[in-house]
Structure 1
Amino acid sequence: MKTLHGSCLCGGVVYRAAGPVHHSSHCYCTMCRKQHGAAAGTYANVDRAGYVIEQGAALVTEYASSEHGRRGFCKVCGSTLFWRSTDSPERIAVTLGTLEPEYDGPVERELHTDTKPRWLPVR
C-alpha cells in the first residue's frame, strides 16, 4: 500500500495519505477551475482514515463550496490541499499538484466534461 506525501507552497502544511488510491481524476467543474485557477482540479481519491496532517494543522482552513463539498487550503499561501464531501465522509481527494514526489499513477477519470474549457489543447 503506497503512501502519498504532500505539502503546500509555503511548506507550512505537510500531510500524508495512505493508499490505495481508489481513483484519480481531472475535474472541470466551475468551482474546481476557479479554486485552482486552472483548467481543472486534479485529485487522488483515498481513504480519509489514512489522511494525516503531520505539520501545520492550524494553517488548514476549509471553504464550504456547496451543500456537501468542502475545499481545504493553506490560509498562508492559498495552496489547495484537498476536496471532501460530507456525503462520503470515508473518502478525501488530495490534490495531485501538492504531492512529493510527483504522482506516478494514471488519471482515470474526467469529471464535468461539459464545462471543460475550450482553450485546452487538443491531444
Structure 2
Amino acid sequence: MESENNIDSILEQLRKGKFAIDKSNYASKEELYEHAHYIISSSRQSILNSIRETNPKFHSIVKWAIDSFISNPNSRLWHIMSSLGLYLSKRVSKKVNMYGYNPLIFEQRSWTNLISLSLSP
C-alpha cells in the first residue's frame, strides 16, 4: 500500500481497497509441531501430575500418549492428530471472530464446549 506516513492516509487507502498483504509471517505447521514437542517434553511431569489429580482414570492413556509423542513426534498418528486439532481450532476461531459466537468460550476453556462448537456446522 502506498500512502503518506499518517493514519488518515492509511485509512483512506484501506477504504479504497488499495492494499495487499505480501507476507503474513504466520508460524508454519512445522514450527507449531516443534513448539508443541518442546512444551510437552518440558512439561511432561506437570501434565501427568495434573491428570493424576483431576482425572486419575485417564492417567495411563495420557502417559502413553505423551511418551509416544515425545519419542516419535513425526509419526503419522501425531501429524493427523495435530492437523485435526489445528483445523478444529480454526473453525472455532472463525465462528467467534467472523460469525459472532460468544468469545467467552475462549476464557472458560471448556473442552466440551470448544469441541462441540468446532464440530457443529
The bucket for the TM-score relative to the shorter chain is under 0.3
Q: Which structure's residues are more often helix, by fraction?
A: 2
Alignment TM-score, normalising by the size of structure 1: 0.22
Look at both structures and tell me which one has the larger radius of gyration over its CA atoms.
2
Which gives a bigger RCO, structure 1 or 2 (Cα 8 Å, sep 6+)? 1
Alignment TM-score, normalising by the size of structure 2: 0.22
Q: Which structure's residues are more often strand, by fraction?
A: 1
